[in-house]
């Protein structure tokens, strides 16, 4: 398959890369840009471990072709912290014990980021609905919900 040069805007930086038409955004982020904070779980749209933000909205990077996000602004978990300073959501996840194996955490935090940008002081039910596609095998979700509520306050 013929490769093609594209520009991707990721975490505020433009990256000039060459991709195959069927390269997923997940593959490009992890393998070409070294942004391994975005996790590959199922690889088929069922776990949301691979969630990133496209123009502020959560998308599944395992189901998204890199060529389809040219012209969009992509944010990965690496784009949330500024230098050593963690995003308040990242801090809250750590403080509330919402990170165990950590595999779901980047996707969970990006999904929560979009929710908090859209809904002020979300209820537990609103949080549950927002993260309903993000699977966590470790925490039972309670600590994740508490962390998201704490990040707001
Ligand atoms: S890795 Fe993308 S949904 Fe599971
Ligand atoms: S912390 Fe392990 S999957 Fe969520």
* CATH of span 88-152: 1.10.150.120
Q: How far is the CA of 108 from the centre of ligand 2 (A)?
A: 9
HSE-CB at 57 with a 13 A cutoff on CA atoms is 4
pLDDT digits (tens, 9 = 90+) for 41-71: 999 999 999 999 999 999 999 999 999 999 9
Q: What is the pLDDT of residue 153?
A: 56
* Separation of alpha carbons 99 and 144, rounded Å: 8
Q: How far is the CA of 20 from the centre of ligand 1 (A)?
A: 20
**Is residue 97's pLDDT more than 90?**
yes
Domains 4-79 and 88-152 share a fold: no
CA angle, 98 then 126 then 55, to 5°: 85
62 Cβ closer than 6 Å to some ligand 1 atom: yes
Ordered by start, the domain boundaries in the chain are 4-79, 88-152
Q: What is the pLDDT of residue 83?
A: 80
List all residues 6 or more positions away from 28 whose beta carbon is below 8 Å from its beta carbon.
8, 17, 19, 66
**Is residue 100's pLDDT more than 80?**
yes
C-alpha closest to that of 2 among 26, 14, 18, 25: 18
Strands 4-10 and 73-75: parallel
Q: What is the mean pLDDT of residues 75-96?
A: 93
Question: Which of 24, 48, 131, 135 best tests ligand 1's pocket when mutated (most atoms within 8 Å of CB)?
Answer: 48
> What confidence tier does 117 reach under pLDDT thresholds 50, 70, 90?
very high
* CATH of span 4-79: 3.10.20.30
SS3 35: coil
Q: Which long-range contacts (CB under 8 A, 24 or more apart) does 67-73 make?
A: 67/4, 67/6, 67/19, 67/21, 67/23, 68/25, 69/8, 69/25, 70/6, 70/7, 70/8, 71/9, 72/9, 73/9
List all residues 6 or more positions away from 141 whose beta carbon is below 8 Å from its beta carbon.
128, 131
């Amino acid at each position: 398959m013929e490769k093609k040069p594209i520009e991707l805007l990721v975490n505020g930086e433009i990256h000039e890369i060459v991709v195959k038409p069927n390269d997923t955004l997940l593959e490009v982020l992890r393998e070409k840009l070294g942004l391994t904070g975005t996790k590959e779980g199922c690889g088929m749209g069922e776990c949301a471990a691979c969630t990133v933000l496209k123009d502020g909205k959560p998308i599944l990077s395992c189901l998204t072709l890199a060529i389809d996000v040219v012209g969009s602004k992509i944010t990965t978990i690496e784009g949330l912290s500024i230098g050593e300073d963690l995003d308040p959501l990242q801090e809250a996840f750590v403080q509330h014990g919402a990170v165990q194996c950590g595999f779901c955490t980047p996707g969970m935090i990006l999904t929560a980021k979009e929710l908090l940008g859209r809904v002020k002081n979300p209820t537990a039910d609103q949080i549950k609905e927002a993260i309903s596609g993000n699977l966590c095998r470790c925490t039972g979700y309670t600590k994740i919900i508490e962390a998201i509520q704490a990040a707001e306050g």
